[in-house]
Chain A
């Protein structure tokens, strides 16, 4: 493989450090689940710790009911850079549901809210109302497969 070929093929994948850097931005992930062969997808907030994706949820949500039956998930985190150029991190594997200890569940949930809302977020009464005691559950997703594309020809990063 000559240098040019190597560079070109590398340019179409994201390096590990690029994945970590991109996933630190407050972007939406799209979480796909399935039950009875019916796919479901919704945008979600998340925290990436380098190995696992953490998603905070209310126990009553549909995706939680689905994951109790079928833990398989797929996630897309992606962004268009104009035209047909975009980058994407696609993950697949099985999710775990974590309901306790409650302090841990709340701590991770707050970490996610702070990522998206800033450090002052937890002081807001509205947010406290969104985190009802005893109703929180975490989806911990450690992907067994990660596929990346990088068609962005002008450097990558969230836009806007």
Chain B
């Protein structure tokens, strides 16, 4: 990256992302990081695959995973989906709210997990033995319908990053 003095002026001013940009960015194969906290008030954060339907974020988990164990006791969570294009150019979508944990009906849960994996692996990739074995396992699906969405964008063009 070439540094010039007008670059940060051009790119350093943050703007917010439109609903359409949020939907498009969250439709890409990027990771989300979900933060939860345990009953001692200690935070936990972990990267996850997810599906965004325009209103809710769907994340696959299991009953033994720490994020699910934390959420069973305290449904509050916050998620960061973000990216950097180098230097001061980055974007972030932060979602905050209370999660629902869904374990039944099993067919519905498997359908959601299949949709999450299909997003990240493609329609053919999801048919491979390993993802199919993972889909057949037991799941807890975390559904976050954010009460608040905060966005920043100093790239002024996060979308072309994904082609």
Q: Are A76 and B46 in contact (CB under 8 A)?
A: yes
Q: Are B44 and A32 in contact (CB under 8 A)?
A: yes
Stretch at the interface among B16-24, B25-33, B51-59, B103-111: B25-33
Residues on the A chain within 8 Å of B122, using CB: 83
- The answer to the question of B45 belonging to the interface, with a C-beta cut-off of 8 Å to chain A, is yes
B74, B77, B84, B94: most-surrounded residue (chain A CB, <10 A): B84
A127 to B8, CA, bound (A): 8
* A74-B8 CB under 8 A given contacts A30-B45, A34-B42, A83-B125: no
Residues on the A chain within 8 Å of B88, using CB: 116-117
- The answer to the question of A68 belonging to the interface, with a C-beta cut-off of 8 Å to chain B, is no
Stretch at the interface among A8-16, A37-45, A99-107: A37-45
Q: Are B33 and A37 in contact (CB under 8 A)?
A: no
A38 to B70, CA, bound (A): 11
- The answer to the question of B133 belonging to the interface, with a C-beta cut-off of 8 Å to chain A, is no
Residues on the B chain within 8 Å of A80, using CB: 29-31, 47
CB of B60, distance to nearest CB on chain A (Å): 10
CB of B146, distance to nearest CB on chain A (Å): 13
A68 to B153, CA, bound (A): 28
Residue of A whose beta carbon sits closest to that of B40: A72
- The answer to the question of B121 belonging to the interface, with a C-beta cut-off of 8 Å to chain A, is yes
Residue of A whose beta carbon sits closest to that of B152: A43
- The answer to the question of B36 belonging to the interface, with a C-beta cut-off of 8 Å to chain A, is yes
* Number of A-B residue pairs having CB atoms within 8 Å of each other in the complex: 127
A138 to B3, CA, bound (A): 25
- The answer to the question of B35 belonging to the interface, with a C-beta cut-off of 8 Å to chain A, is yes
- The answer to the question of A155 belonging to the interface, with a C-beta cut-off of 8 Å to chain B, is no
Residue of A whose beta carbon sits closest to that of B34: A41
* A76-B45 CB under 8 A given contacts A117-B3, A124-B8: yes
Residue of A whose beta carbon sits closest to that of B49: A84
A126 to B9, CA, bound (A): 7
- The answer to the question of B76 belonging to the interface, with a C-beta cut-off of 8 Å to chain A, is yes
Q: Are A43 and B82 in contact (CB under 8 A)?
A: yes
Give the interface of A toward B (CB within 8 A).
26-28, 30-43, 70, 72-76, 78-80, 82-84, 86, 88, 90, 92, 116-118, 120-121, 124-127, 130, 160
Q: Which 7 A-B pairs have the closest CB atoms?
A: A41-B35, A32-B45, A126-B8, A32-B35, A32-B43, A39-B35, A34-B37
Give the interface of B toward A (CB within 8 A).
1, 3, 5, 8-9, 12, 29-31, 33-37, 39, 41-47, 49, 74, 76-80, 82-84, 86-88, 90, 92, 94, 117, 120-122, 125, 131, 161
